[in-house]
Amino acid sequence: MFEVMLKELRELLRDRKTLFFVIALPIVIFPVLFAFVAFLTSKAALEAEQQVHTFYVVNEDYARPFADTLFYHRSFKRYDGDAKLDSVEALRDAVRQGIIDVGVYIPAAPDKQLSLGNQTRFQVVFNDAQSINYIYSRIKKVIDEYAATLREQALGELGVAVEKQAAILKPVEMEKVDTADQRENIGEKIGAFIPYMLIPLVLMGASYPAIDLGAGEKERGTLETLLLTPLTRTQLVLGKFFTILISSIACALVTVSSMSVWIWIASGFGALDPILSAFATVTQWDFLLIFALLLPVAMMLSSLVLAISIYARSFKEAQNYMGPLSMFVFVPIVVSVLPNMTLTANTAWIPITNVALAIKEIVKGTVDYQAVGLIFLASTLLASALLACCVRWFSREAVLFR
């Protein structure tokens, strides 16, 4: 068994493509991915922040102070075209055609309606399908300021002093006191997405050598020679399995180490201080525990991809099978980010999902070590069952020579 493993490892180390996917890619994927996402997000937010929107107010004489505030607002400019818009439908058509960015329809004079005890409903027409859109929030802020002015005037006419108006309008104010610390808050938002990078990389570290050790052996015609050696089928499978497992573990180790190193390097920059200060409390023990959780996952995926590779007739067919397998691995990770999904004694038995939930809890600093023990038990049992199926699969002549 060990002779087979050493032989496969030597051949694996000679394959530059496999070394790239197992070692080089995990080292560079975190800085490149985070930097690219941060760049695109900041660029989109900056463009949306600096964008000046063309507006049109129908019946602006009803609320002249409001219209003047929009006119002098740095983020808005008045429409200076020839189109005459006099209804909500006309504003909607103008927004769809790109004539204006936002339209406001004022049905009546708010000050007169307020004296009669009636409310005035401003209808804001705009396209809210954009991912980053400040139009509504900016318009709402101007409308709220205008409404506050009208309210202050109305209460003043009723004899209510200005200093008492706030207490009358809002006699009880709620103050939020959060018991979660910064690490828990940020970990809940970011920790759920870390498995999206770690677990697929573990699969990638196992799939590339597995394709070569199974389907590649068939295609090159070396599998028959290997079967002639005085080794049992179980020893052959275990030798190949441990080779794939070492590759997958190496990929997981490099990935976690890379994440730890790049977080430490990024701590020297002040752009991500809230996130980095939260991750600063993630200890080396936490990173070690994340790596340990990836070990049974690597065992499961190594057994699975080896069985698929043995079944495939050729290298290309094995690659075609790996695509659906990647989607199959993503589904449990998606389940882990569903609302109210937490690590419990029940969810600890769900493959892949349990590890994703545990990684999130580790990043948050709220991990339950008893549940982690259940995860190791469940994952080890499943990995052992998959490995037994792989040995049985390898013992069938119809599969080896199909």
Q: 259-314, pLDDT tens digit by residue?
A: 667 666 665 655 455 555 555 666 778 878 888 888 888 888 888 888 888 888 88
β-strands 123-126, 102-105 pairing: antiparallel
Whether 119 contacts 113, CB under 8 Å: yes
Is 393 in contact with 307 (CB distance < 8 Å)?
yes
CA dihedral 86, 87, 93, 94 (to 10 degrees): 40
Lowest mean pLDDT among 112-121, 206-215, 216-225, 241-250: 216-225
Predicted confidence at residue 310, as pLDDT, reads: 83
Geometric angle at alpha carbon 351, from 345 and 352, rounded to 5°: 110
The pLDDT score that the predictor gives to residue 101 is: 92
The alpha carbons of the chain give a radius of gyration, in whole angstroms, of: 31
Percentage of the chain lying above the pLDDT 70 cut: 82
Q: List, in order, residues 6 or more apart from 165 with CB less than 8 Å away.
A: 151, 152, 155
Mean pLDDT of the chain: 81
The CA distance from 122 to 192, in Å, is: 40
pLDDT in tens, 75-89: 999 999 888 898 999
Q: Is the pLDDT of residue 175 over 70?
A: yes
**What pLDDT is stored for residue 3 in this prediction?**
63
Are the CB atoms for 55 and 104 separated by under 8 Å? yes
- Could you tell me the pLDDT band of residue 367, with boundaries at 50, 70 and 90? confident
Reduced 3-state DSSP string for 134-147: CHHHHHHHHHHHHH
Distance, CA of 71 to CA of 58 (rounded, Å)? 14
- Rounded-to-integer distance, Cα 228 and Cα 248, Å: 28
pLDDT of 145 reads 93
Q: What is the 3-state secondary structure (H, E, C) of 212-243?
A: HHCHHHHHHCCHHHHHCCCCCHHHHHHHHHHH
Q: What is the pLDDT of residue 17?
A: 66
Residue range 163-172: mean pLDDT, rounded: 85
Q: Residue 208: pLDDT band by 50, 70, 90 thresholds?
A: confident
The whole-number pLDDT of residue 265 equals 66
Token output for 169:
């309008």
Mean pLDDT, range 239-268, rounded to an integer:
75
Q: Over 80: is that where the pLDDT of 251 sits?
A: no
Instruction: State the amino acid at position 273 in one-letter form.
Output: D
* pLDDT of res. 279: 59
Confidence tier at 102 by pLDDT (50, 70, 90): very high
Output the pLDDT for position 142.
93
Give ∠ CA 254-211-389 in degrees, rounded to 5. Answer: 95
Higher pLDDT, residue 242 or 197 = 242
* Among candidate residues 379, 336, 44, the one with its CA nearest the CA of residue 194: 336
Name all contacts of 124-131 with Cβ < 8 Å and 24+ positions apart.
125/88, 125/91, 125/92, 125/95, 126/95, 126/101, 126/102, 127/95, 127/96, 127/101, 130/48, 131/44
In the chain, the amino acid numbered 48 is A
Output DSSP code: residue 348: G
Greater confidence (292 vs 178) lies with 292
Residue 91's pLDDT is what? 94
Question: pLDDT at residue 99 above 90?
Answer: yes
Q: DSSP states of 100-154 as a string?
A: -SEEEE--S-HHHHHHTT----PEEEE---SSS--HHHHHHHHHHHHHHHHHHHH
Give me the domains of the chain, ranges plus CATH numbers.
2-30+182-400 (no CATH), 50-169 (3.40.190)
pLDDT of residue 131: 56
Tokens 């996130």 belong to 275
What is 42-87 written as a DSSP string? HHHHHHHHH--EEEEEETGGGGHHHHHHHHH-TTEEE--SS----S
For residues 27-42, give the mean pLDDT. 71
Best-predicted range by mean pLDDT among 56-65, 194-203, 262-271, 339-348? 56-65
pLDDT at residue 180 above 80? Answer: no
Q: pLDDT tens digits for 116-149? A: 889 999 999 999 876 567 888 999 999 999 999 9
Return the pLDDT at 79: 93
Q: Where is pLDDT greater, at 26 or 379?
A: 379
Confidence at 218, pLDDT banded by 50, 70, 90: confident
Measured CA to CA, the distance from residue 20 to residue 171 in angstroms comes to 64
Query: What is the predicted pLDDT for the residue at 84?
Result: 86
Strands 53-58 and 102-105: parallel
Q: Name every residue whose Cβ is closer than 8 Å to that of residue 47 and which is 6 or more positions away in sequence.
A: none
| Integer Cα distance of 172 and 175 in angstroms | 10
* Pairwise CA distance, residues 263 & 383, whole Å: 32
Which helix (H) or strand (E) segment holds residue 324: the answer is helix 315-336
Residue pair 249/22 in contact by the 8 Å Cβ criterion:
no
